[in-house]
Copies of this chain bind each other. A is one copy, B any other.
């Protein structure tokens, strides 16, 4: 018997490509200077949070009474949950109360919490390829099994594939729009059709299929306000964070929102709150719960993201790369000019350009570019992309 968990040992081999690249990038930057490394591997925005965040922090730092940093109900501060419910109500008109909101330690923490609340051993969760493969771990942590379903060539939902994958063991499906790694956003029509399919299939298999909408990129949209899943399927839960739209990924603040008409709402909320507690999250960090209602609608400036997207989409297309234009998020999922995406990534790495291979998202033959960096950096990377495609 080894001193550590065999399951963890197994997963060490397949450790996150994204994190590996991130650590490689830091190493290279130390060796040859950050200005010479094009680390487009991780979605770690170089932009700072909106100024309202620091203003709120400064204000909180003047308060030394009232127990701002104390324990609270595990579910989170009522006023913070009111603020979130209010925002969702103005989008959806559904009349959520703070009862349906559970503050979480980021979206990764939220997904683990909800999956712990939902899953019995061997129950299945559908994931849509290409996808953020950390989901596999999140599901397996709580005894579940991930079931991969391919999307269409343009990464839109393939309803036939989804229908075919559903069986008696299906407990949930995870969607992610805007999508990591493709930047694709699902239309209201697609969400509506998905909702109808899940209702029909839930009836067939005799239990509710819960839809988990992982949407930290929701406000990073290039196509205006996106449709809200809560308006299209009642058995859905939003799981999200402020990592991207407030540029706070290291702070671990997010929430879960359960549809007020979810078939087993009360039980599910109770279960999620217990899961949050016993997984050791206990509650989302207090100070960030206090900051949120103080900053109104503030968010990061999308201008550089929009500029970066346009420069990359146009630039790469001119060079002959096959690019799907993203509707949101800050990723481009590009067809690899050679079949072996890992080989292409290795060639790019020799040029100090760090990318993530499609296989890290379950779809070999592609690579992902993260473009949440200074526009100048993006522009300077174009000759490298050019050199790579010419050399092949």
What are the interface flags for A1-16 relative to B under an 8 Å C-beta threshold, 1 for contact and 0 otherwise?
1111111110110011
- Establish whether residues B252 and A281, one from each chain, have CB atoms under 8 Å apart when the complex forms: yes
Report B-chain residues with C-beta under 8 Å of the C-beta of A200.
none
A108→B280 CA distance, assembly (Å):
4
- Establish whether residues B268 and A3, one from each chain, have CB atoms under 8 Å apart when the complex forms: yes
Residues A106 and B282 in contact in the complex (CB < 8 Å), given A57-B60, A268-B3: yes
A15→B270 CA distance, assembly (Å):
10
A57→B73 CA distance, assembly (Å):
24
- Establish whether residues B4 and A268, one from each chain, have CB atoms under 8 Å apart when the complex forms: yes
A282 to chain B, nearest CB (A): 5
- Establish whether residues A57 and B54, one from each chain, have CB atoms under 8 Å apart when the complex forms: no
- Establish whether residues A74 and B120, one from each chain, have CB atoms under 8 Å apart when the complex forms: no
Copies of this protein in the assembly total 2
Taking CB atoms and an 8 Å cut-off, the chain A residues in 198-251 that contact chain B are: 206-208, 210, 247-251
Q: Which residues of A contact B (CB under 8 A)?
A: 1-9, 11-12, 15-16, 19, 22-23, 26, 42, 44-46, 48-49, 51, 53-55, 57-58, 60-65, 67-74, 105-113, 116-120, 134, 137-138, 141-142, 171, 206-208, 210, 247-252, 263-264, 267-268, 270-271, 274-275, 277-288
A selection of 13 A-B contacts at a CB cut-off of 8 Å is A3-B118, A3-B268, A4-B267, A4-B271, A5-B116, A8-B275, A15-B274, A45-B70, A46-B70, A51-B64, A70-B249, A250-B285, A250-B286
